[in-house]
Copies of this chain bind each other. A is one copy, B any other.
């Protein structure tokens, strides 16, 4: 894939108008191609890591395991997202990452990124923006867990996923293909798998959204948005901002 067309470039271009120098530096990030099978643990909490990944194809999730064995999924990653960026800035990774589907990614060394900042400062700004956008998503996720009912959480979550996927051309207002199980949803939304099932049934029976057979279909996009209190502003994805 041409670097000009890569999901990451497309995403960063939503914020900064990248120049030739930035593009060249970014291209240097994409030298080591790697593949992973579903279920592979790409990064383990506590591990020292000198490289991160840029996801080109497939889905992954970042999570933490609690002492009692419970899991909280923090974020799902889709093409164009960094995997484990924090793990190279920190002494040890503060979370684990697991491949959900088969994954194609490029490995990026810490030194590539840090040297890149010195050569292309605009790129540093773009990466800071990408990290801030990730944080904004985690924040919205936090609000979801803190102050919304199970039904509202699910509505908001499915809408966010749809919005993110549509940015990389993998979904629209009709719906999207989704490889997640009800267990993934439970661990992400802080619910039990049993309750996830009930909530999905309820949303389906109310004619709002249908999640079956690996596909999410928005039956009534607007009513779903109203239920989930969903507003895309925090995704900040409406065309280049910094020129």
Contacts and interface: CB of A to CB of B under 8 A. Distances in A.
Given A91-B241, A128-B128, A143 B229 contact: no
A41 interface: no
Given A91-B238, A121-B118, A143-B72, A46 B128 contact: no
Interface stretch (A62-70, A97-105, A167-175): A62-70
Task: Determine which residue in A72, A128, A190 has the highest number of CB atoms from chain B within 10 A of its CB, and name it.
Answer: A128
Contact of A72 (B85, B89, B91, B142): B142
Instruction: Label chain A's interface by main secondary structure.
Output: helix
Count class of interface residues, chain A = 35 or more
Contacts of A67: 229
Interface in A159-201: 189-190
Nearest to A70: B147
Interface in A75-91: 85-86, 89-91
A72 B132 contact: no
Contacts of A229: 66-67
Given A91-B238, A114-B125, A138-B138, 7 more contacts: A64-B139, A72-B146, A74-B142, A86-B135, A89-B129, A94-B139, A94-B140
27 contacts: A46-B233, A66-B143, A66-B148, A70-B147, A72-B147, A74-B139, A89-B125, A89-B129, A90-B241, A91-B236, A91-B238, A94-B136, A94-B139, A94-B233, A94-B236, A95-B139, A117-B117, A118-B121, A121-B124, A124-B124, A124-B128, A128-B131, A131-B132, A131-B135, A145-B145, A145-B146, A147-B190
